[in-house]
Amino acid sequence: MPRPAWIKARAPMGEGYERVTALMRGLDLHTVCEEARCPNIGDCWNRGTATFMILGDVCTRACGFCAVKTGLPARPPDPGEALRVADAVARMRLRHAVITSVNRDDQRDGGAGVFAACIREIRARVPGCAVEVLIPDFKGDWTALEVVIAARPDILNHNTETVPRLYREVRPGARFARSLELLRRSKAAGLLTKSGIMLGLGEDWVEVEETARAIRQAGTDILTIGQYLRPSAEHLPLRRYYTPDEFAKLREFALALGYRHVESGPLVRSSYHAEEQVPRG
């Protein structure tokens, strides 16, 4: 299926891109920008921003849409990773840092302790920097979730990714109800919460609206809606492209549900304009 004219992203090149690349290599850090083949990498890295991916580069799940490598990680979590992430945040002079991870179902806490350590180290190294975490579901281990909540990130993000009907195909290791419960618990703890869905996997319009409503009913504050782009022929097929006008209509629909902030567009991803979504002052 040929890409429409509105799916255009900046090529990954330029001085800013090279600078971020060198920093990540030098500190032995991963980014979801690279590992998940994000179309916005050229734009974000040239602006000096990146989304850090902790806990290695091998995911224990195999979601049908995702370009990240899958399998059984060969190494345990790196105890020095949080310090290196904080170092990168300081060197990049970030005002808003986004931390995500692979799933680490091989770890007792799913990697929650490393998330918490990253939040603490960034706060210690770069006071005033907002910290957003995009976390996995920890297989419904709410004790692990509490470890992250206790570190008080400025935004706690957990993506539902798609409509419930498609979970078995798109996210076979996840459960929609589990993701909603994670969001509910995080909101009940007083955190600013966020989730995201992608379109083009075979959902219909009513399902998208119902999913946005269910996420909002879980207390979620921020919603991102973007276009699924097939990473390779080995991944789930793209069923259709949504137009910019359709994304605009979904944004208005979601705002009417009571979300405080909605990003909706073909190239929107979880950390798209993330720095604009946290209250300051």
Q: Within a domain: residue 6?
A: no
CA angle 121, 271, 177 (to 5 degrees): 95
- Judge whether 34 and 64 are in contact, CB under 8 Å: no
Q: With both helix axes pointing from N to C terminus, report the angle between 15-26 and 81-92 in degrees, rounded to the nearest 10.
A: 160
Find the length of the chain.
281
Residue 259 CB contacts under 8 Å (≥ 6 apart), including other chains: 216, 220, 221, 222, 223
Q: What is the percentage of the chain residues whose pLDDT exceeds 90?
A: 61
**Structural domain tally of the chain?**
1
pLDDT higher than threshold 60 for residue 42: no
Query: Residue 121: its pLDDT value, please?
Result: 97
Q: From CA 11, how far away is CA 8, in angstroms rounded?
A: 9
Q: Within a domain: residue 281?
A: no
Residue 193, SS3 per DSSP:
strand
Query: Residue 35: its pLDDT value, please?
Result: 47
Q: Within a domain: residue 70?
A: yes
Residue with tokens 């799916």: 7
Q: What average pLDDT score do residues 83-99 get?
A: 91
Q: What confidence tens digit (pLDDT) does each residue in 111-126 have?
A: 999 999 999 999 999 9
Q: Within a domain: residue 7?
A: no
Going by C-alpha positions, the residue among 275, 279, 280, 281 that lies closest to residue 132 is: 275
pLDDT higher than threshold 60 for residue 274: yes
pLDDT higher than threshold 70 for residue 16: no
Q: From CA 159, how far away is CA 130, in angstroms rounded?
A: 19
Query: Residue 90: its pLDDT value, please?
Result: 93
Q: What average pLDDT score do residues 203-219 get?
A: 99
Q: Within a domain: residue 198?
A: yes
Tokens standing for residue 125 = 């190294």
pLDDT higher than threshold 70 for residue 13: no
Q: What is the percentage of the chain residues whose pLDDT exceeds 70?
A: 89
Provide the residue type at 156 as one letter. L
Query: Residue 51: its pLDDT value, please?
Result: 82
CA angle 57, 62, 68 (to 5 degrees): 30
The rounded radius of gyration (Å) of the Cα atoms in the chain is 18
- Judge whether 88 and 23 are in contact, CB under 8 Å: yes
Q: What average pLDDT score do residues 96-120 get?
A: 94
pTM (2 decimals)? 0.91
Query: Residue 48: its pLDDT value, please?
Result: 55
Query: Residue 34: its pLDDT value, please?
Result: 57
- For residue 84, name the pLDDT band (cuts at 50, 70, 90): very high
Q: Within a domain: residue 4?
A: no
- Average pLDDT score over the chain: 89
Query: Residue 112: its pLDDT value, please?
Result: 97
Q: From CA 60, how far away is CA 232, in angstroms rounded?
A: 19
What CATH number should be reported for the domain holding residue 19? Answer: 3.20.20.70
Query: Residue 247: its pLDDT value, please?
Result: 98
Residue with tokens 């299926």: 1
Residue with tokens 């995009």: 134
Going by C-alpha positions, the residue among 146, 210, 136 that lies closest to residue 179 is: 136
Q: What confidence tens digit (pLDDT) does each residue in 236-253 have?
A: 899 999 999 999 999 999
Which comes out higher in pLDDT, residue 95 or 19? 95
List the single range of 42-46, 71-75, 80-84, 152-156 with lowest mean pLDDT. 42-46
User: What's the domain range around 59?
Assistant: 15-276
Q: Within a domain: residue 1?
A: no
Q: Within a domain: residue 23?
A: yes
Q: What confidence tens digit (pLDDT) does each residue in 136-195 have?
A: 999 999 999 999 999 999 999 999 999 999 999 999 889 999 999 999 999 999 999 999
Query: Residue 37: its pLDDT value, please?
Result: 57
